[in-house]
Amino acid sequence: MSTQYATDFIKKTAIRLGFDFCGIAKAGYLDEDARRLEAWLNKGMHGSMQYMGNHFDLRVDPVKLVPGAKSVITFLFNYFPKEKQAHPTPKISKYAWGKDYHTVIKNKLHELMEEIRRNIGEVNGRGFVDSAPVLERSWAQKAGLGWIGKNGNLINKQQGSFLFIATLIIDLELSYDSPSVKDYCGTCTKCIDECPTEAILPNKVIDGSKCISYFTIELKDALIDEKMQGKFDNWLFGCDACQDVCPWNRFSKPTREEGFNPLNEILHFNEKDWEELTEEKFKLIFKDSPLKRSSFNGIKRNLNFIKNSASE
């Protein structure tokens, strides 16, 4: 079977399974990314996210993750909703409005891997969806799927940045796409200007320890630093401030994936509804939701924090 045939088969199958974009890069050591990640970690910009410093060698070398790896296939999956949250209401990042993306996309990666083995032959590989030490944005850029914006997000020229990134690392040689070399952000600084906590620094550096998403999702402390009081702009879980103002997101289209259809509660819960939510109801309503990552206690902590900020 020819390399081009295998490449075309994988890309066509990925689109049939619901992925919006597919690009392929040659597996290899990410030398520049390794230096950048090391500098970022040394400055403590990962906050309490100690896992970011774990398995450093795996993050920058796909062969360490998949022995004999030859290709890194990157997929983009649109999650932009056609609905909007009621106003005013505690805000939730759009990626978390529907089912947990890990589950939805992992199932599609498994299906794709089965199709590859059935139609191409014995291929070894592993699929990843934001759950292993893989530098997804770097591989997406190498696969020609977009560029890294000033807010640190991958931006795709056709659909903006409301896109999940998934990767499949396999030991099969394929035809490789040209990497994205042009940065279309230009002189625009809207994302930097809009960030409520000034977490977006020059040269595409993000201080993760200042990001609202870090405080509302990753931070497990019982209390949030008082220095952040009044800066959360009513964000209860995650933050889309930098994406909402990005001019490239005017090209965003509503997702076709039913699994990402918003929960009614996320669209319509007001502050009182969140306050009266019991742990039992939380577990029932959000059993398949990314909100589980913050836990019931974390959501209540976040709610109290933004409520106290508003009253001051």
Q: How many angstroms separate the CA atoms of 217 and 293, rounded?
A: 7
Which residue in 140, 100, 116 sits closest to 14, CA to CA? Answer: 116
237 CB-side CA count, 13 A: 22
Q: How many angstroms separate the CA atoms of 245 and 92, rounded?
A: 16
- Out of 33, 61, 130, 244, the active site residue is 130
Check if the beta carbon of residue 176 is closer than 8 Å to that of residue 26: yes
Check if the beta carbon of residue 134 is closer than 8 Å to that of residue 59: yes
Q: Are strands 91-92 and 235-237 parallel, antiparallel or unpaired?
A: parallel
* Chain center to CA of 153: 8
Check if the beta carbon of residue 10 is closer than 8 Å to that of residue 71: no
Task: Examine the residue annotation and report whether 244 is marked as an active-site residue of this protein.
Answer: no
Contacts of 35 (CB under 8 A, 6+ apart): none
Q: Which is it for the CA torsion 134, 197, 38, 155, positive or negative?
A: positive
Active site amino acids: 130
